[in-house]
Structure 1
Amino acid sequence: MSLVTGLPSAALSRRLTLRRMAAVAGGAALLSATMSSRRAVAAGNKVTQAAAGYQESPQGDQSCDSCAQFVAPAACKVVEGNISPGAWCKLYVKKPG
């Protein structure tokens, strides 16, 4: 018996194992979605705004107008659609210099 919970150690171990498995599965799904977007970009295909995690507001000091992928006045080399200079997505790459 575990002194902390009053449950048998085997039950506590099973519960912990199931929680860890759920966390690993969630992480794998997130990684898969991110890698799919990056593969599409690498192949020269534009990804949807949803797949890129596009949002209309900047992320700290990162915004589309300071991204190497941004094409003024309102486009992107890797994300489809109308792109706001003050927006941001997870494919952000800071302009060199």
Structure 2
Amino acid sequence: MSKDDDVNRGSAASCGVLSRRNFLKVSVTGAAIASAGGLSACMTGPMAAGKTTKALALYQDTPNRGRRCGGCTHFREPNGCEIVAGAISPNGWCRFHEPLPA
């Protein structure tokens, strides 16, 4: 490598031009951050920062094969849930249904 190459490389860096290595480094970091954000949105239960939406929970206002929110460990009287945000019907159902212990 000659001195001219070093000079040219330095001037490119000072102009804000990204090298291929730096571009890839920034791209991979951005992708990792975006993936982590997506994963946190999928988390439920005690590890989740907030409640999930009815749409993500596949919530419906009617029971599913006899399973209903009123018989779930996550249901909170009169119309709440530990996991799903918003008003919840005791006769509703979602994919997070967990039957009360017998």
Q: TM-score range by the shorter chain?
A: 0.5 to 0.7
Once the two structures are aligned, what percentage of the paired residues are identical?
33
Structure 1 consecutive aligned stretches of length 4 or more whose deviation exceeds 4 Å: none
Q: Does 1:49 align with 2:48?
A: no
Q: Deviation string for 1:6-37 (max 9, x for gaps)?
A: xxxxxxxxxxxxxxxxxxxxxxxxxxx9x953
SS of the equivalent of 2:64 reads coil
Task: Provide TM-score, normalisation by structure 2.
Answer: 0.56
Task: Provide TM-score, normalisation by structure 1.
Answer: 0.58
Tell me the number of residue pairs that the alignment of Structure 1 and Structure 2 aligns. 63
* Pairwise CA distance, 1:45: 1.9
Q: Distance in 2 between matches of 1:44 and 1:62?
A: 27
Q: Distance in 2 between matches of 1:40 and 1:92?
A: 12
Q: Name stretches of at least 5 consecutive residues in structure 1 with no aligned partner.
A: 1-32
Q: Name stretches of at least 5 consecutive residues in structure 2 with no aligned partner.
A: 1-37
Equivalent residue number for residue 69 of structure 1: 74
RMSD: 2.0
